[in-house]
Structure 1
Amino acid sequence: MKELQIIYKNISELNPYENNPRFNDEAVKYVANSIKEFGFKNPIILDNNNVIICGHTRYKAAKKLKMNTVPCIVCSDLTPEQIKAFRLADNKTAELADWDMDLLNQEFADILDFDMSLFGFMDNIPDVNLDLTNDDKYSTNIQIPQYEITGECPTLEALVDEDKCNSLLGKIEQANIPEEIKAFLRKAATRHYAFNYKNIAEYYAHAPAEIQELMEESALVIIDYNNAIRNGYVQLSEDLKSLVESEEENA
């Protein structure tokens, strides 16, 4: 097998494939966020004429970030037909993979310093499984997570990581800026509280009814689908939201 060589090319040298059948505009911002956070770790694959085989989304993300050069791999060993097949296969095979939701949520529980919604995930919350057994594809039936005691009750400190927020607050206080700007930035800094939803679920299971109710209203757990929407826990697309509202009107 031929060894791969990564070379850096000026982004102006790259040519998108004019017949690219993949719609990728919605993914560009998430890929750009990933590149910005972690670096450009996945090279763009080109043919001998610098036409993109794989990596159109990365190319658009790099342009969005105003990058001058990007890492590339030139496939000089493939025939034109192989290139066409590879281009389609690379996109299609990614669609065939699925998530193990239990393992995914375990991974989320260990990621405290990153907002995973920046990369296309919903906020780091326990999984909400759509009930796909109903023949009505527009059904809003869901399986609500069952909050049962599985271990010791976590401490309050274990429910949220405040380190990033506190670090940012310290920088704000030291900044030589007007007080009204500081006040605004203090509020914005609270976005960096990293909630551990696995521990929150355990804490909720141990809590008395009054605390449970307040946690539900704070969108820390999901008990009722409609309440979850009102409390901001479930993020709906505009189309799904319209369908829900239509169902309520026709009920």
Structure 2
Amino acid sequence: MEAASQLQIVYRDIEHLVPYARNARTHSDEQIAQLAASLREFGWTNPVLLDGDCGIIAGHGRVLAARKLGQREVPTIDLAHLSEAQRRAYVLADNKLAERAGWDSELLELEVADLSGMGFELGVLGFTTNELATLLGTADEPALSAAVNEERFLVLVDCGSEREQSKLFAEMRERHFVCKLMS
């Protein structure tokens, strides 16, 4: 029987979970607040992945959000069958692979517009006010919040390599700057 077919979700005390000390992924206070809002709205849809000894492999941000909400237990899945190298690699792959996904702009605009029309609170989706205004086609309307109407400045950064550009782009997006890659 494959290890993946034997996975079980187990609720564990949040105080017993140990963050991976070398986790390279960071979580801003704003992102933790967004994750907390998502947990409030949708509940737990993605368990925390553990190493078989309560060490967190994936889900550090969700655990921080759960703490912020005062949750005492979180759903977990043990991946004890992974080697140490596989666990360490998965910590990176879990974040990087998701980051490399893209969007179908037309479908995204349609979906956001439909949700807005249904009265759904779009703030829990994780998009900035500016992004939502652009998706809804309301970016030029005067009634938008101050965040949308703030004066904007453009900075062009010349990087020495694609790797340097990728790293800087990720850092700037993490800080919630609107960024575009050019080559």
User: Structure 1-normalised TM-score?
Assistant: 0.53
Q: What residue ranges of structure 2 are gaps of 5+ in the alignment?
A: 155-183
1:22 positional shift: 0.8
| CA shift for structure 1 position 235 | 6.2
Offset, 1:99: 1.3
Contact 2:41 2:124 in 1 (8 A): no
Q: Secondary structure at the match of 2:18?
A: coil
Secondary structure, aligned partner of 2:93: helix
In structure 2, how many angstroms separate the alpha carbons of the residues matched to 1:37 and 1:117?
A: 11
Match of 1:234 among 143, 148, 151: 148
Query: 2:141 and 2:94 mapped to 1: Cα distance?
Result: 42
C-alpha change, 1:28 and 1:216, in structure 2 (3 Å) is closer
The secondary structure found in structure 1 opposite 2:148 is coil
CA contact (8 A) 1:28 1:57 kept: yes
**Residue of 83, 105, 114 corresponding to 2:120:** 114
2:17 aligned to which of 14, 34, 42: 14
Residue 62 (structure 1) shift = 0.4
C-alpha separation between the residues in 1 aligned to 2:120 and 2:69?
A: 20
Q: Report what 2:103 is aligned to.
A: 99
Alignment match, 2:142: 217
C-alpha distance 42-10 of structure 1, shift in aligned 2 (>3 A):
same
State which of 10, 13, 37 in structure 1 corresponds to 2:41.
Answer: 37
Output the aligned Cα RMSD: 2.5
**1:162-183: per-residue Cα shift (whole Å, max 9, x none)?**
xxxxxxxxxxxxxxxxxxxxxx
Q: Matched residues in 1 for 2:43 and 2:102: separation?
A: 25
TM-score of the two chains, using structure 2 as the length reference: 0.71
* 1:101 CA drift (Å): 1.4
How far is the alpha carbon of 1:126 from its aligned partner?
A: 3.8
Q: How does 1:133-144 map to 2 (within 5 A)?
A: none
Once the 2 structures are TM-superposed, how far is the Cα of residue 47 of structure 1 from its aligned partner?
0.5
8 A contact 1:31–1:119 mirrored in 2: no
User: Are the aligned partners of 1:122 and 1:235 in contact in 2 as well (CA < 8 Å)?
Assistant: no
Amino acid at match of 2:67: K
Q: Percent identity?
A: 38
Radius of gyration: which is bigger?
1
Partner of 2:68: 64
Cα distance in 1, alignment partners of residues 92 and 142 from structure 2? 46
Report what 1:125 is aligned to. 133
- Relative to 1, partners in 2 of residues 1:118 and 1:7: Cα closer, same or farther, differing over 3 Å? same
| 2:48 and 2:56 in contact (8 A); partners too | yes
| Alignment length (residue pairs) | 146
Letter matched to residue 49 of structure 2: I
Higher RCO (Cα < 8 Å, 6 or more apart): 2
Q: Is the 8 A contact 2:9 2:76 kept in 1?
A: yes
Q: Give the direction of change, closer, same or farther, for the CA distance of 1:84–1:110 in structure 2 (3 Å limit).
A: same
For residues 60-100 of structure 1, what are the alpha-carbon distances to aligned partners after superposition, in whole Å with 9 as ceiling and x for unaligned?
00000010100000011100011011111001101100111
Note the residue ranges of structure 1 that are not aligned, 5 or more in a row.
128-196, 201-214, 220-230, 245-251
Q: Give the aligned partner of residue 90 of structure 1.
A: 94
